[in-house]
C-alpha cells in the first residue's frame, strides 16, 4: 500500500485516496471548436510512461482535495506532490 503525501494533510495510506490518472491534461477551453481527433486525444490518449509520471490523486476519504504527485511507475516511489495549479519542483514533465 502506497504512502501518499497529500499536500494538505501529509502522509496518508493509499486507501484514503482515489487515483485520477495522468496529470496536466488540460480540458480544451472551447471543446466545440476542436476536431474529432483532437478531442479523442484529450479523452483517451495517455502516455503510460515507464518511469516518472505526474498523476492526479484525490484525497477522497480525507480532505477531498485533488492534487498532483510525481510517481516512478517502476519503483512506485513518490518523489513529490503539489497542489493543483502548481508545478513540480524537480524531474517530471510539468
Contacts to other proteins by CB under 8 A: 1-3, 13-14, 18, 20, 27-28, 30-32, 34, 36, 39-40, 43, 56, 58, 60, 64-66, 75-78, 84-85
Reading the block at residue 32, the C-alpha cell is 466545440
Q: How far is the CB of 4 from other proteins (least distance, A)?
A: 9
Q: How far is the CB of 90 from other proteins (least distance, A)?
A: 19
Question: Which CB atom, from 64 or from 91, has the smaller least distance to other proteins?
Answer: 64
Q: Which of 50, 43, 53 is nearest to 79 (CA)?
A: 53
Q: Which of 53, 44, 47, 43 is nearest to 78 (CA)?
A: 53
Amino acid at each position: 500500500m502506497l504512502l501518499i503525501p497529500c499536500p494538505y494533510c501529509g502522509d496518508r495510506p493509499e486507501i484514503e485516496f482515489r487515483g485520477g490518472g495522468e496529470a496536466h491534461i488540460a480540458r480544451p477551453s472551447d471543446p466545440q471548436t476542436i476536431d474529432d481527433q483532437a478531442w479523442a486525444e484529450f479523452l483517451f490518449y495517455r502516455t503510460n510512461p515507464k518511469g516518472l509520471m505526474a498523476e492526479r490523486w484525490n484525497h477522497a476519504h480525507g480532505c477531498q482535495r485533488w492534487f498532483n504527485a510525481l510517481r516512478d511507475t517502476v519503483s512506485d516511489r513518490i518523489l513529490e506532490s503539489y497542489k493543483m495549479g502548481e508545478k513540480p519542483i524537480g524531474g517530471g514533465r510539468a
